[in-house]
Structure 1
Amino acid sequence: MSLNQDRIRLFEADLQRVFEITEMLFEDESHLHAGHAGAASGGGHFKLTLISPEFQGLNTVARHRAIYAALSSHFPDAIHALSIQALTPNERPSSV
């Protein structure tokens, strides 16, 4: 198991403590950024899709802030960059 797979398990646990999660997909995109100056710090590049009814009534910025707050202990050591798609179950695309 890779370092980033271990990290993802920790990220998921932190998110599950904060949100009622319908679906969650964390993807490690660090390999796409090899050689990038930020990657040299050891933090990974990740993509998160998180579906939760708790996002109802929140705009995109508020949703992202809530996720960043839940993962705050992982920045910048474990997470250098995070791409987020935060949706309610009603906004869920059919391909997630």
Structure 2
Amino acid sequence: MDVQKTIEAKLSQAFDSQVMMIENESHKHNVPPNSESHFKVTLVSPAFLGQSKVKRHQAIYQVLAAELAAGVHALAMHPFTPEEWAAQNQSTPDSPNCLGGSKNDPGASFNKRADS
């Protein structure tokens, strides 16, 4: 089973979701072709009612702990209650394209020595 399908299966089992969208956004980042390392998760569930955004994110992180430990590098999360989703016009913000960050990028700040 590929990573995206695993994420979908685990979230489906863990949450009574009305809407679930899992998008592989790896192609927007500096990774090899066909990577499964960057995902955007939109999850609409009544289970989030009364929970802060932090608690919602923690709940998703807990379900996907194995995937995060095994190669999922980034997880953009958009958890909503059904009412919040309706107020959002049933849409999530677009994710930005990667700005670089490769260790081979001469402009990356982590590539510069403090004594230079």
The aligned runs of 1:37-56 (5 Å cut-off) are 44-56=37-49
User: Cα offset for 1:32?
Assistant: 1.0
Q: Provide the rounded CA distance (Å) in 2 between the counterparts of 1:34 and 1:64.
A: 25
Is the radius of gyration larger for structure 1 or structure 2?
Answer: 2
The aligned runs of 1:10-49 (5 Å cut-off) are 10-35=6-31, 44-49=37-42
- TM, length-normalised to structure 2: 0.68
Where does structure 1 lack aligned partners over 5 or more consecutive residues?
none
Q: Which has the higher strand share?
A: 1
The alignment covers a number of residue pairs equal to 87
Percentage of identical aligned residues: 38
Where does structure 2 lack aligned partners over 5 or more consecutive residues?
92-116
Structure 1 runs of 4+ off > 6 angstroms? none
Relative CO higher for 1 or 2, CA cutoff 8 Å, sep ≥ 6?
1
- TM, length-normalised to structure 1: 0.81
User: Cα offset for 1:28?
Assistant: 0.8
